[in-house]
Structure 1
Amino acid sequence: MKRVLVGLLWLCSSGVQASAEPLRINALQRCGELLAVDAAQWCLRSQGLGAQTPTVWLGTTRLSRDQVQRDGDRVTVKLGDMQRPSAPLWLEEGGRTSNSVWLTRGRSHVIAAQPHEVAKNMDGLTTYVDLVSLLIEEKHDGLNEARRIAERYGARVVGAIAPLNVYQLRLPVRDLVQRDAMILRMGSELSVDAVVIEESAPEPGEEGAGRSSAAISQADEWAANRFLDALYFYQRRIPAARLPVQPVRIGVIERDVDFDAPAFTAYRGPCAARHVCVYGRDGQQADAHGSLVTGILAGEQEGFLAGLGEHSPGFEVIVERNSDAGITANIAASVNLVEDGARVLNWSWGLHRVGARNVKGDEVDSLVRSGLAMSGYEELLEEFFLWLRAKHPDVVVVNSAGNGASWSGTDEYRLPSSFVTEQLLVVGGHQRSEQAVAVDDPRHVRKRHSSNIDMRVDVSAAACIRPAGAADQHCGTSYATPLVTATVATMLAINPALTPEQVRTLLRRSALTLGKEQDFEAMDAEDLTAPILPSERGGQLHHPDLGRSARLDMQRALDLAVQSRDRVR
C-alpha cells in the first residue's frame, strides 16, 4: 500500500512539473509543397505541450481542429485562404500561452540543407552539395523557366523567392565536382542571370572580439549616443506638441529570442494592448545574438522602443529568419517582411570574401566566403535592392559594417554593406574612450578597433553591451546597428513621409563626431565613417565638425524628425 501511495505521489508531482514547463514555440516554417498558391502547410516545433493538441491562434482567429495536427512536439498547421493578411501565431493550453511567432502569407520560402547534404570545399568552408538557387532574368516567367531548366537537368524546384524571380533547385548530384559541373552548365542558360550557392552551416552571430577594458558601464556607452536624452525628449516633446505618431513595423533578421529572459517575459502570448510587440521563435540563451540585438530594440529593461512610454505609437518587432539556409534565407525573410509592411529592416550580419585584407594587411578571418559564393550573393542582393527601389522605395535597411577591421564599401571585401543605394544605411562601431571629456567632444569615444571602416559607413554607434544581470559583455557592429534601427523607426513614427535619403541626411546632420579631422584623401585606419561635409553643417566652411566621422546622436535625430514634420505643416 505504501508503495502505491508513493507511486501516486510521484506521478502527481511529475505531472505538476510537466504542466509547469513553459509552453514555447521553438521553430516555425513553411513545409510540404512550398510553391503551393491556394493552400499552405506550416510545421512548428514546440516544448511544454501536454497530452492534448493545443489551441492554435492566428491573429484573432482560433484555428479549427481539422486545421491542426499534432505528432509529439511537432504541430502541423494547414491554411486554405492564402489571401488573408499575415499575423502572429501562438499556442494556448491549460491556461498557459506560448511566445508569438510571425506567420507570413508571403511566397518566399527556401529550405536548408541537412547535415548529410553539405561538404567542405577547397577553402575548407561548409557548402551545400545539391541545393542551389537560380536568379532568372526578369523578362522570363521565373517559375516556368525554373521548371524547364530543372526538367532538362533532372533537378526539382523546391523553393522560391518569387518577387525576385529566384528559384531554389535540388540537383541530382552526389559531390561538389558534379555540382560545380552542373551549375556551370545551368549558368550558361540564356535565361539565367546567376546561380547562387550557399556556404553556411547555421551561422554564428557577427561579433567582434571583447572590449579591451575589464568591464563597461552600459549607461556610459549609450550616453555617447544620447540614448536617455532621446527617451526624455520623446516622452515630453511628443505629448506637449500633441504630435500624432504612426505605428511602425520592424523586421529583424535573426534566428530566435529567449522569451524566458527578463527582457522578454512580457512579450509572450497575444500582444494587442502593448505599445511594443515582439514576435519570434524561442531560443535557449539570453545572450544569444538574436536576443541581444532584439533586446537593444525592445527589451523590457533597456530596449529603446520599450522606453518610449505611453505615447509610443506602437511598434511590431518581427524576428524572422525563414530557415537556416544562409544568405538566401535572409533575403527570403526580408522580402516577406517588406511585403508584410515592415518599414525598417535590421541586418546585423554580413560576409567577407576569402582573401580580404584588413587595414594592417592581414587576412580577414571573420565570416568569410569563397569568391564563387560571393558572386552569387552579390547578384542576389543587387536584385533585392532593385526590387526594393521599384516596389518599396520607402523601406530602410540598416546594416552592420562588420568586424574585420577592413573596408566596408568594396565588394571584393564585404557584402552587403558595399552596395551604394539610398535604402541601405551602414553602421560602424565605437566605444567609450578613457578620456574624461564632455559627450559632445570628439575624444569622448574612439573607433572600435575591429570595426570595418571607409566612406560607405554612414554613421557609428556604441558597439559594446552588457545585458542586465549578465556577467559577460558583447561587442561588435551587430549591436551598434539596432541603436540606429530604433532611432530610424522612431523618426519614421514621428514623420512617416521621410524618405530613406532624408533619414540618412537627418542622421548625418544631427550626428556628434569622433576621431581626428580627415583630409578627404584615401581612408586610413583612423577614419571610421564618411567625413562630415559642409552641407551637413549648414554650409559652414569652418565648422569644427568638418572632416570628422559621424557618431549617432539619438536625441538630436528625433528633434530633426519633429522639425521636418513642422516644416511640412
Structure 2
Amino acid sequence: MLSRIVLTTLFIVASSLAQGETAPPSDALRITQLQRCGDLLQQHAQDFCLKAQGVQDGDLRVLLGGTPLAAEQIRRDGQSLFLHIEAQQAKSAPLWLEQGEQASNPVWLSLNRSQVLAAGPDEVAKNMDGLTTYVDLISLLIEESHDGLEESRRLAERYGAQVVGAIPPLNIYQLRIPAKNLVERDALILRLGSEVSVDAVIVEESAPEKGEESERDKVPSKPSEDEWAANRFIDAVNFYQRRIPAKQSPIETKPVRIGVIERNVDFDAPDFADYLGACNGEQRTCLYARDSDKPDNHGSTVAGILAARWGKGGNTGFLRGLDKAGPGFEVIVERNSDAGITANIAASVNLVEDGVRVLNWSWGIHRVGAKNIEGDEVDSLVRSGIAMSGYEELLEEFFLWLRREHPDVVVVNSAGNGSSFSGSDEYRLPSSFITDQLFVVGGHQRSQEAGVGIDDPDYVIKRSSSNIDMRVDITASACARASTLEEDEEGESHCGTSYATPMVTGVIAAMLSINPRLQPDQLRMLLRRSAMTIGGDYDFEPMDAEDLTAPILPSERNYELNNKDVGRSARLDMQKAIDLAVQSRDRVR
C-alpha cells in the first residue's frame, strides 16, 4: 500500500491537473476540496485529502463536529492536509479549520461507504457523439442475489481490472479496467454486461473539469424585479415567523437536514460570510460547503435561495428568513467527487444515510436526439444512448433503495431547460421517473399583463426554456439574483429550473419542520392543493404542447368539478403550503 506521504503528493498533483491552474493566493482561511482518498473500500479507517487556502505556518486546528482531531491524525503539506479517521471513533459531521482568529468554511464530512473516483484529463476521450466519456473507469450494478463486493472482485480478477470505488447500498462497484481507448473499453463493456451477475454497466460521460449541473448561460427574456412575489415568498416567511411562536397556540418544530447536490459556495460573498466556523443549529440555518472563487457560480445561487443572508444585496435565503422562529435547518452542499451522475448518486446515498430528509437535485440530462417542443434537437446536457441506459438503471436502483430503506425522504428535481419534455426517459433523466418520492419542478416568470392579481393564471407565464408535460408536479419562479462580492450590490439575474427547484425544496423543508410525520405523497398533495394556477384550461388534454404541469384535479380542489382551477397547471404558493402543513398536524398522526 502506498504511504500516506505518497498519497498526499498524488492528491496534490491530481488537484493541480484537475483545476488547470493554482487558485490565487488569499489570506482568508478556506477549504476548497475535501474527499476520500487512499483505499476507498476500507471502512474501519478512512483517509481524506483536504485542499485549503490561507493556511499559515504555526498551529492549525482541524475540528470534526466541534472536536479537534489529534495531531497524529493530520499530515500537513503546505495548503494540503491528509486526515486519517477511525470510523468507529467518529461520525459524519461538519469539519472546519481554525488558525489564530480565523475559522474556515465548514464542510460536511461523511463517514458512510459510498465513494467513486473521477477520471483525470488523461483518462477521458471524445466518443462518436462528440461527448467526453471515461475510458478506463466504469461501474457495475451487481444483481441483488450476489454479494456485490465479492462478485465485483471476482469479475475484476477475471478481466484484469481493479475495484476502486463503490456505492454499497445499491450494490454498485466501480472498476478500473485495462482499456487504453474506447474500442477496448466498449469490448470489455460488452463482455462484462453479458455476465449473469451483472444487471447493468454504467459509463460516465462528463468532463473532469466542467460542471454537469450548469444551465445555459443565455437568458431568453428579462426577468421582473419581483419574480418571487408570484410564489408568495415574503408572505410565507412572514406567516412562519408569526404563526410558529404564536402565544395562543405555538407550534413545536423539528430541525430538518437538507442535501444540495452541488459543488461549492463562495464564502467571500456577504451572503455567506457569517457561516464560517461552528454553527449553532438551534433556531439558526447552518450551511456546509466547499469554497468557490466565484460568487455567481451555480452552487452559490442554488444554495443561496435556501441559505443566503438577508439585506446584503445578492441573494435572499428562504430558510434563513425563518431563523429564530424555526427549529434550525442544516443545508449540506455535497457532490462526492467530479465523477458526474454516479458521484451525484453516491453523494445522495451518503447524505440520506446521514439523516437528510430533502434532497435538492438541480440537474438532469437529455438523451442525444431528444427533441424540444418545436421539433429541434436539444443541444444542452445531452448523453449518448449507452450512457443513458446505465444512468437509467442507476437511478432506478437508487429510488428502489429509497422506497425500501428511507420511504420518508423526498427528492426535488429540476424539470430541465431544453424546451423539451420531462416525462419520457427517451428525453430526460431523472425527471421521467414516476415515484412518490420524486418531485419535478418547472419554471415560470412574471408576465407583462397589467392589472392582474397574483391569483390570476396570467400573472405569470412559462419560462420559454423550461421543460414541460404531465410529469412536472409544479412550477416556481425560475429567476434569482446571484450573490456578489460587494455588500449591498445587486447581483445579476440567473434563470432556469435549477433555481425554481430550491424554492420548492425550501417550502418542503419548512413543512417538515412543522409536521415531520408528513410522507412524500402527503407533501405532494398539500403542494398541489395549495397551488395557484398558470396557463390555460385545456380539459386535461395538452394543446400545442402547452400542458405545463399535471393538471389540477377535482380531488385537489375539494372535489369541486366546476372549480376554476381544475384542468390548469399548478404554480407554487409558499404561504398556503405552509398553512396547510400547520393544519395537517391535527390530521396526520
Partner Cα separation in structure 1 for residue 162 and residue 536 of structure 2: 56
Deviation string 1:313-368 (CA, Å, 9 cap, x unpaired) is 11000000000000000000000000000000000000000000000000001100
1:120 to 116, 126, 135: 126
For 2:332, the aligned partner's letter is I
Is the counterpart of residue 195 in structure 1 residue 194 in structure 2? no
User: Which of 486, 494, 497 pairs up with 1:474?
Assistant: 494
The equivalent residue for 2:510 is 490
- Corresponding position of 2:471: 456
Could you say which residue in structure 2 is the equivalent of 1:287? 296
2:61 is aligned with what amino acid?
T
Residues 146 and 167 in structure 1, CA contact (< 8 A), matched pair in contact too: yes
Distance 1:20 1:94 in 2: 16
Match of 1:223 in 2: 229
The AA in structure 1 aligned to 2:183 is: V
Once superposed, what is the RMSD of the aligned Cα atoms? 1.4
Alignment length (residue pairs): 550
In structure 1, distance between residues paired with 2:551 and 2:296: 34
Change (3 A) 1:20 1:520: closer
Residue 78 of structure 1 aligns with an amino acid whose one-letter code is: H
8 Å CA contact 1:210–1:474 kept in 2: the answer is no
Cα distance, 1:105 vs structure 2: 0.9
CA separation in 2, counterparts of 1:210 and 1:519?
34
2 CA distance for matches of 1:194 and 1:165? Answer: 11
Given candidates 469, 477, 480, the residue that maps to 1:465 is 480
Counterpart among 326, 330, 347 of residue 312 in structure 1:
326
Bigger Cα displacement from structure 2, 443-452 vs 199-208: 199-208
Deviations 1:142-161 (A, max 9, x none): 00000000000000000000
2:351 aligned with 1:337: yes
Of 261, 267, 273, which residue of structure 2 is paired with 1:259?
Answer: 267
* Structure 2 counterpart of 1:141: 147
CA distance in 2, matches of 1:173, 1:53: 46
Q: Contact between 2:518 and 2:588, CA under 8 Å: does it hold in 1?
A: no
Select 2:566's aligned residue among 543, 546, 550: 546
Structure 1 unmatched ranges of 5 or more? 1-17
The answer to whether the 8 Å contact 1:352/1:367 transfers is yes
Aligned positions of 1:378-389 closer than 5 A: 378-389=392-403
Normalising by structure 1, we get a TM-score of 0.95
Matched, 1:446 2:461: yes
Residue identity opposite 1:395 in structure 2: V
- SS of equivalent to 2:243: helix
Q: Per-residue deviation at 1:203?
A: 2.3
Kindly indicate whether the alpha-carbon contact (under 8 Å) linking 1:245 and 1:493 is maintained by their aligned counterparts in 2: yes
Moved more, 272-281 or 147-156: 272-281
Q: How does 1:144-543 map to 2 (within 5 A)?
A: 144-201=150-207, 202-208=210-216, 210-214=218-222, 216-217=224-225, 220-240=226-246, 241-272=249-280, 275-301=284-310, 302-436=316-450, 437-467=452-482, 469-522=489-542, 524-543=544-563
Deviations 1:193-236 (A, max 9, x none): 0000000013243424644444530xx20010000000111011
**Deviations 1:46-71 (Å, cap 9, x if unpaired)?**
00011235210001211111000011
Contact 1:252 1:294 in 2 (8 A): yes
Structure 1 runs of 4+ aligned residues shifted over 6 Å read: none
| Deviation of the 1:291 alpha carbon | 0.1
AA matched with 1:500: P
- The answer to whether 1:563 aligns with 2:583 is yes
| 2:56 equivalent among 50, 58, 67 | 50
Amino acid at match of 1:262: P
% identical aligned pairs: 67
Residue 224 of structure 1 aligns to a residue whose secondary structure is helix
Distance change >3 Å, CA 458–CA 214, structure 1 → 2: closer
* Cα distance, 1:293 vs structure 2: 0.1
Seen in structure 2, the aligned counterparts of structure 1 residues 273 and 449 have a Cα distance that, compared at 3 Å, is closer
User: Is the CA contact (8 Å cut-off) linking 2:206 and 2:339 kept in structure 1?
Assistant: yes
TM-aligned CA distance change 1:172 to 1:300, over 3 Å:
same
Change (3 A) 1:554 1:54: same
Q: In 1, Cα distance between the equivalents of 2:59 and 2:200?
A: 45
Post-superposition shift, 1:312?
1.1
The aligned amino acid for 2:346 is A
Deviation at 1:526, TM superposition (A): 2.0
Distance 1:54 1:524, change over 3 A: farther
3-state SS of paired residue (2:231): coil
Distance 2:543 2:562 in 1: 21
In the alignment, residue 227 of structure 2 is paired with which amino acid?
Answer: E
Q: Distance in 2 between matches of 1:123 and 1:510?
A: 44
1:224 partner amino acid: A
Q: 1:167 is paired with a residue of what secondary structure? A: strand
Aligned mates of 1:204, 1:184 — CA distance in 2: 26
| Alpha-carbon distance between aligned partners in 2 of 1:288 and 1:522, rounded to the nearest angstrom | 36
Q: Are the equivalent residues in 2 in contact too, given 1:55–1:92 (CA < 8 A)? A: yes
State the one-letter code of the partner of 1:390.
R
Instruction: Output the CA distance in 1 between the equivalents of 2:543 and 2:343.
Output: 34
Q: Is the 8 A contact 1:455 1:523 kept in 2?
A: no
Aligned residue for 1:133, secondary structure, equals strand
Contact 1:206 1:476 in 2 (8 A): no
Give TM-score, length-normalised by structure 2. Answer: 0.92
Equivalents in 2 of 1:140, 1:412: separation in Å?
30
Between 524-533 and 316-325, the greater mean CA deviation after superposition: 524-533
Question: Does the aligned pair in 1 maintain the 2:213–2:364 contact within 8 Å?
Answer: no
